[in-house]
Chain A
Amino acid sequence: MNDSDSSRLETIHAKGGEGFSSLCLQLAQQHIDAHAVDPGPLPPATYLELEAAGWGLAGQLACQQGMRWAAAWAEDVGDGLALMACLEIAGSYLILQTALPAEHPELPSQAPYYWAAGRVERSIHDLFGVCFTDHPDPKRWTRHQAWDEKTHPLRKSFPVAGFPLAETPPDSDYPFFKAHGASVYEIPVGPIHAGIIEPGHFRFQAIGETVLHLEERLGYVHKGIEKIAEGRDPGELARLAGRVSGDTTVGHTWAACMAMERAARLEIPPRAAYIRGILAERERIINDLWDLGSLCNDVGFGFGYYQFGRLRELWLRENLTTFGHRLLMDRIVPGGVMVDITDEAADCMRNSAVSLRQELGELARTLDANSSLEDRFLGTGMLPVETAAALGAVGYVGRASGQTFDVRKDAPYPPYDRLNVRVASENQGDVSSRFWVRYKELRAALRLIEEMLGDLPTGALSTPWQTPQEGAKGFAAVEGWRGEIVCYVSFDQNGRIRRYYPRDPSVINWPALEKIALNNLVPDFPVCNKSMNASYSGHDL
């Protein structure tokens, strides 16, 4: 990192700090008991404890200051619940924390100020029984019919096995939004879709070919990840994290390991950080290739589908020969990595990067000159800059609509703190913008891989694990290929996991699809959906 970069970082961190102190001050003026804990338990995030009554007000004030709402989660701490929310401004993270009683926990909602908080709070209600008193849309979200509304699976008193019926009934009376009127009709789609895709339900209201309203219903692949994480040792948690969303196995494992390492006050060796970076950029590349190809396919352009698919397969095969797994599962472990890169493998990867860059250049010229692609992509699925900002859209969805936040650049962690991360962005907010942002990110990832290979430090691959103290907590934010992944872990008295919460970028971005689809043709929905490619599994947990 050069001097101007470090002074820029200092400035933005100072700005973050200012925002947080003035938030404290404003809460005090409104007679809300709030105090910063310094040093906080979740570095590098600032930590602010406040009384539950001020939860909604804190959201309102944070929103006025332009903070981005990134996540919220609860934890059963034995004698009650702890509720935390994560905010970000200028690359600095702030964790708000409040204590709630075990019986009838209730507090004001942040959803009136933050759109992204809506579903997350509904989920916290389903899983912990926390009541957000002024929530604008307090319907169930994660819960379908596998448990009843009086029981809450993430309470410690709820057994892992639960109380399932022999056959869980379908959630058939979910109160969907209705539209009435001449020539308005409804199209229910899913949970099982017509392709090789994850399950979820979309309820369209349409007039003719035009989408009047879209409501998503997710939660079909909720498989209890947070519950079964409890009691695992760090290695077992890393494996589970690698299966939060199979296409983001590197991203989620890295986030979970980073959170655990911070809880254990463990530094990983520089070589391990670089190898993690290389794995993460390779994951970005195979997913970018896959989505660029699939976007072509969704508008009937087979040429693009086969070309990008071919390039992707070559990289998957190289993953297998170099790292021993096509999707790179379980290569990152607590304390470091379990794979090394030989000089020979580094040469192969360099050559692959050169040849992929050359192929991409050739494909880009062809795609750019293709009027049928342009016709289908341009102006389709608009997410205006203001809408993306209001949501706090992350990753390429945000970056195609002017939201340039990238954890690698704005809140860098090793190895990115030593690399020259270039963040691609567009302002048009349509499918075309998302397509070309992905293309640019792919090229940026190739550059990063070359930089990391050229500068790969020598030394150990991992640091021996050291058991954290009882109650130790860790927070991590990493830039997965879909965008910012936020992760929280805490440990029990035996050095095992007490709580694991992974916030996939899809959790934030999914609501954008409801807006993106509006006023588009129903047959354009697949390409709108693909241009976001949010994860169902990463969302549903």
Chain B
Amino acid sequence: MLSLYGKIFRTGTLTERVPRPVRDEAVEREGEKLKAIVGKRFQGSLAIRQVDAGSCNGCELEIHALNNVYYDIERFGVHFVASPRHADVLLVTGPVSRHMQAPLKRVYEATADPKWVIAVGDCAACGGEFGVSYASCGAVANVLPVDGVIPGCPPMPIDLLRGLLALFSPRR
């Protein structure tokens, strides 16, 4: 047990702050901007339900990374929830496979208004490598009304932060 606490102590706090090297400053800067908007528009708490509608799982890995100690997106008031009933935002990845079309629509209907849909990754944005076929509906916009798009294959965590920011910035 002592070695456990020792390791925690020696590891210290890694959550990044200004000043830091260039890439990390970006996380901090974008994050703080996002936090201000989440504070203003969502009472300090933005709840995201992530839905994989046919992805290769690459986007999920990077969305997960938002929760690691380097990004720690919760400190900006953004958190992932287990039920669409609790969500403000649906973060949808993948081309929408035809087998996931009905489940995805049900999730959308189960999400309370007001709600936003963000298509994450090239496949969700435009069909990507998979396009439209007998098995795939292609872009998320072919199935649901989409409010924001975060392209990339997959988008990196910083791209995801910027994408959220772009959607909710007052400039829009």
Contacts and interface: CB of A to CB of B under 8 A. Distances in A.
Contact of A239 (B94, B100, B129): B129
A537 interface: yes
Contacts of A162: 133-135
Contacts of A366: 3-4, 7
Interface string B112-138: 000000000000000011111111110
Interface string B54-78: 1111111111110111100000000
Interface in A183-239: 191-192, 194-199, 219-225, 227-228, 239
Contact of B68 (A146, A170, A227, A310): A310
A532 B97 CA distance: 24
Contacts of A158: 134
B156 A326 contact: yes
B3 A144 contact: no
A312 B68 contact: yes
Given A309-B69, A326-B62, A144 B99 contact: yes
A245 interface: yes
Interface residues on A, range: 35 or more
A307 interface: yes
A179 to B, nearest CB: 25
Given A221-B52, A223-B95, A247-B61, A192 B8 contact: no
Contacts of B103: 170, 191-192, 199, 220
B66 to A, nearest CB: 9
B101 interface: yes
Given A197-B52, A247-B61, A222 B102 contact: no
A221 B99 contact: yes
Interface in B79-110: 80, 82-83, 94-95, 97-103, 105, 107
A368 B91 CA distance: 37
Contacts of A79: none
B100 A196 contact: no
Q: What interface size band does chain B fall in?
A: 35 or more
Contacts of B4: 303, 366, 370
Nearest to B10: A362
A161 B46 CA distance: 38
Interface string A352-366: 000000000011011
Contacts of A327: 58, 61-62, 154
Contact of B57 (A167, A192, A536): A536
B130 A228 contact: yes
Contact of A313 (B70, B97, B154): B70
Contacts of A147: 134
A161 B53 CA distance: 19
B102 A167 contact: yes
A525 interface: no
A369 B83 CA distance: 36
Q: Output the residue of B56, B95, B137 with the most chain A CB within 10 A.
A: B56
Given A192-B51, A221-B94, A245-B57, A199 B100 contact: yes
A240 B58 contact: no
A244 interface: yes
Given A170-B102, A228-B130, A310-B14, A243 B56 contact: yes
B134 A221 contact: no
A83 interface: no
A160 interface: yes
B80 A196 contact: yes
Contacts of A239: 129
B18 interface: no
A329 B153 contact: yes
Contacts of B100: 191, 199, 220-221
A424 to B, nearest CB: 24
Contacts of A458: none
A454 interface: no
B2 to A, nearest CB: 9
A121 to B, nearest CB: 20
A305 to B, nearest CB: 9
Given A196-B80, A221-B97, A537-B57, A309 B129 contact: no
Given A192-B51, A370-B4, A223 B136 contact: yes
Contacts of A249: 58
Given A221-B97, A303-B4, A312-B68, A246 B134 contact: no
B58 A369 contact: no
Contacts of B43: none
Nearest to B107: A192
Nearest to B8: A303
Nearest to B84: A192
Interface string A502-521: 00000000000000000000
A159 B132 CA distance: 12
Contact of A227 (B14, B101, B134): B134
Contacts of A222: 97, 99, 135
A169 B129 CA distance: 24
Give me the 4 closest cross-chain CB pairs, A-B, nearest first.
A162-B134, A246-B58, A224-B135, A194-B82
7 contacts: A161-B133, A220-B100, A221-B94, A249-B58, A310-B14, A312-B68, A536-B57
Given A198-B55, A224-B135, A362-B7, 19 more contacts: A161-B134, A162-B134, A168-B101, A196-B50, A198-B57, A221-B55, A221-B100, A222-B99, A223-B95, A225-B130, A227-B134, A246-B56, A310-B68, A310-B69, A316-B65, A329-B58, A366-B3, A366-B4, A537-B55
Interface of B: 1, 3-4, 7-8, 11, 14, 50-65, 67-70, 80, 82-83, 94-95, 97-103, 105, 107, 128-137, 153-154, 156
